Amino acid sequence: MAGKSHKKRLKRIVRTITLTEEDLNKLDGIERVISANGHRIKTDSKLIRAAISIANSTVNNEAYDINDVAQKVIQEDGRTLFRGVSGN
């Protein structure tokens, strides 16, 4: 029972990064696409992780589903909200 209730814990590494205004504008664009698909990612770190996942798939010529990427990021942090297709 306890094994099923515990999710695999991810190793978290804290790094300082510098972003340009253009970088932030691109992240805002990614966030708009993710939001349009019914997901809301509230933190910059989660949004950056989603962008990294998308970029990694793109450079490796791998197909990706924006919903799958968003759901994976959202599931890793219970504080992030999911807004269903109905808009609730």
Q: What is the pLDDT of residues 21-47, one digit of tens each?
A: 999 999 999 999 999 988 888 788 899
Residue 77: predicted pLDDT: 63
pTM of the model: 0.69
- Domain chopping of the chain, boundaries: 27-83
Rounded to whole angstroms, the Cα distance separating 36 from 60 reads: 25
Residue 23: predicted pLDDT: 93
Residue 87 has pLDDT above 80, yes or no: no
Inter-CA distances, 72 with 1, 19, 20, 23, 79, Å: 23, 24, 26, 22, 13
Residue 58: predicted pLDDT: 96
Mean pLDDT of the chain: 80
